[in-house]
Structures are given as structure tokens and as C-alpha cells.
Amino acid sequence: MSDDPLSNLLLDAEEIDRASLARVLHAYLGIDNNNGKIIQKASFNKLSARQKVLAYLLGKKVAKLLGKVEIELISPKDIQAETGIPKGTVNPKLRELVDNCLVSQTKEGEYYIESHQILNCIAELENKEEK
């Protein structure tokens, strides 16, 4: 380690992200080892709609990081179909999350979480207050 006091700020963000992701998502969902599908656990239903969308998108990120899926991009229609959250709820929550810089959107209207957004997303999931 260097004598530079700033070197104390250096860390391996990917490892921290992975450990934090595992810790926060473990209670809410899992990833099917065969096809990378997001499997919701019973406690997933205790989350607010906003947190459900966020947890699902983080699950897609994890499936990609683990090499279980090739792409993590997902449409609002697919989020609705796979989570059971109504369309009238999914779309406004996605817009909120994009506006809050927690989620990114492609030109084609698909959603995903960028690596630099992960820690803020985790903090959002750890916050139990309704947003």
C-alpha cells in the first residue's frame, strides 16, 4: 500500500457491488441456474412497487454478471409479465427511477441498471419507507 493517504479510497467496486447485491437481494429473489430467470421469493411481495421494479432489474443485472443471460435489457411489458405488477404501475415507476438516475433506458425503451448505479439502487432497496 502506498504512503499516499488517498490510496485508502481505492477499492474493488465490482467485488463490493457483488457482495452488496447478494446481501440485499437474497431475501427477495433468486436466479434460476438453468435459464437465468428471476425467481421471486415470498418476501418480494413485501416490497413497494418501486422497490419491486428495482429489485427485478437488479436481478437481471446479477443474471448477466453470472453469465446466466446474455443481455439484461428488459421492456416494461416484460417486467409487467414477469413480476405481475400492473402496467399502470410499472411504467410510472420506471420513469421515476430513470428521473432519479437509478435506472437507465435505451433509445428502444428497454431498461437496465448501469454498474455505477448499483450502490444507489441497493441503498434504495434497503430503505423500507414507501417512495
Domain ranges of the chain: 13-126
Question: pTM here?
Answer: 0.87
What would the mean pLDDT of 112-131 be, rounded to a whole number? Answer: 82
Over residues 3-33, the pLDDT tens digits come to 888 888 887 766 767 888 999 999 999 999 9
Over residues 92-107, the pLDDT tens digits come to 999 999 999 999 999 9
Phi, then psi, of 74 in degrees rounded to 5: -145, 145
SS percent in the chain: helix, strand, coil, step 5? 55, 10, 35
Give the fold, CATH level 3, of 13-126: Arc Repressor Mutant, subunit A (1.10.10)
Query: How far apart (Å, rounded) are the C-alpha atoms in residues 79 and 128?
Result: 22
Name which of 78, 29, 36 is nearest 52 in CA terms. Answer: 29
Bridge partners, residue 31, by sequence: 38
Contact present, 44 and 125 (Cβ < 8 Å): no
